[in-house]
Amino acid sequence: MLRLTLIRLLQGIPVLLVVVTITFFLVRAAPGGPFDAERSLPPEVLENLEQRYNLGAPPCRQYLDYLGGLLRGDLGPSFRYPNRSVNELIATGFPITLELALYAILVAVIIGVLAGLLAAVRRGTWLDHLPMGLAMTGICLPSFLLGPLLVLVFGIALEWLPVSGWGYAPGDKILPSITLGAAYAAYIARLTRGGMLEVLGQDYIVTARAKGLSMPVVLMRHALRGGLAPVVAFLGPAIAGLLTGSFVVETIFQIPGLGRFYVQAAFNRDYTMILGTTILLSALVILFNIVADLLGAWMNPRLRHGRGTA
């Protein structure tokens, strides 16, 4: 298991390097310089800027310098806000985004797994159809639609919950977390149901029942681990989706997270900020994929005990 962990982590490094390289050159290849907006800058100012942002050097040199900075954890200064470094900007927004994503995944996993279990156990009854119908609706109701609707109902009409902000008023984290998590809860519910039904059809479930175990014991002890395997495999992609999905939710609820910075940066062509954020998010997503992978392997004795590479 330890060996598997090391291997996976090492495999992540070249992937990240590829991401950094592609992002870097893509951004450099973008049409229009970052200072096009400020027209007719005096040449000495321009030169000053170029030096500050290391734009004078040949691209390869720039790339190596950037990599060097990356190794030291330095993402360079922001194009848009010359007085602030990308690190600072990320440091203010990132914790908020991470917290939002965390709550959302909790919402998604708890609701999704419970609903999926219920549907699988009560297959064919209304306890199956209702959650699955809701799940289908959840998948077809994108966050940028669900969010405003929730705001309209719970914020404006009923006035139960704050309509914006993060950590300013009690309960203002509830709507954003639900908005972001809902579609994933729906998907996880479907995955859980499918996985459980697959496992419940296996011979070893009949064996367990033939031992005289009660249905809850059969479910929890014998079926759950295999049934949740697809959910665990989905966690990696889910985290990636949640982190990018937070862009929309942060916009709707005016949350000062990383997502809003990223979208702003995309609008403003703040290249260093785009670069830094992309790299950070990619690294996170790669990491979470590895974690989900390892979790899946750990749950499966065949993979846990070495030799299997499949």
Contacting positions for other proteins (CB under 8 A): 15, 18-19, 23, 26-27, 29-31, 136-137, 139-142, 144-145, 148-149, 151-152, 156, 202-204, 206-214, 217, 221-222, 225-226, 236-237, 240-241, 243-245, 247-248, 251-252, 262-263, 266-267, 269, 274, 277-278, 281-282, 285-286, 289, 299-302, 305, 307, 309
In b/e form, how buried is each residue of 105-143, taking b as 16+ CB within 10 angstroms?
bebbbebbbebbbbbbbeeeeeebeebbebbeebbebeb
Going by C-beta distance under 8 Å and a sequence separation of 6 or more, which residues neighbour residue 216? none
Residue 107 vs 238, nearer CB to other proteins: 238
CA angle centred on 85, ends 172 and 276, rounded to 5° = 75
Q: Residue 75 CB, nearest distance to other proteins (Å)?
A: 15
Q: Residue 271 CB, nearest distance to other proteins (Å)?
A: 9
Residue 107 vs 274, nearer CB to other proteins: 274
Residue 114 vs 240, nearer CB to other proteins: 240
Q: Residue 71 CB, nearest distance to other proteins (Å)?
A: 21
Residue 107 vs 248, nearer CB to other proteins: 248
Residue 1 vs 45, nearer CB to other proteins: 1
Give the separation between CA 265 and CA 283, rounded to whole angstroms: 19
Give the separation between CA 180 and CA 100, rounded to whole angstroms: 8
Residue with tokens 């998010």: 281
Q: Residue 281 CB, nearest distance to other proteins (Å)?
A: 5
Helices (H), 141-268: 143-150, 174-200, 203-210, 215-217, 224-227, 229-252, 258-268
Q: Residue 20 CB, nearest distance to other proteins (Å)?
A: 12
Give residue 41's identity as a one-letter amino acid code. Answer: L
Q: Residue 48 CB, nearest distance to other proteins (Å)?
A: 25
Residue 45 vs 220, nearer CB to other proteins: 220
Cα distances (angstroms) measured from residue 127 to each of 72, 107, 110, 188, 193: 54, 20, 17, 16, 12
Q: Residue 302 CB, nearest distance to other proteins (Å)?
A: 5
Cα distances (angstroms) measured from residue 300 to each of 83, 227, 308: 51, 11, 11
Residue 26 vs 64, nearer CB to other proteins: 26
Q: Residue 286 CB, nearest distance to other proteins (Å)?
A: 5
CB-facing half-sphere around the CA of 3: CA atoms within 13 A: 7
Per the CB < 8 A criterion, the answer to whether 160 and 172 are in contact is: no
Residue 44 vs 162, nearer CB to other proteins: 162
Give the separation between CA 310 and CA 307, rounded to whole angstroms: 9
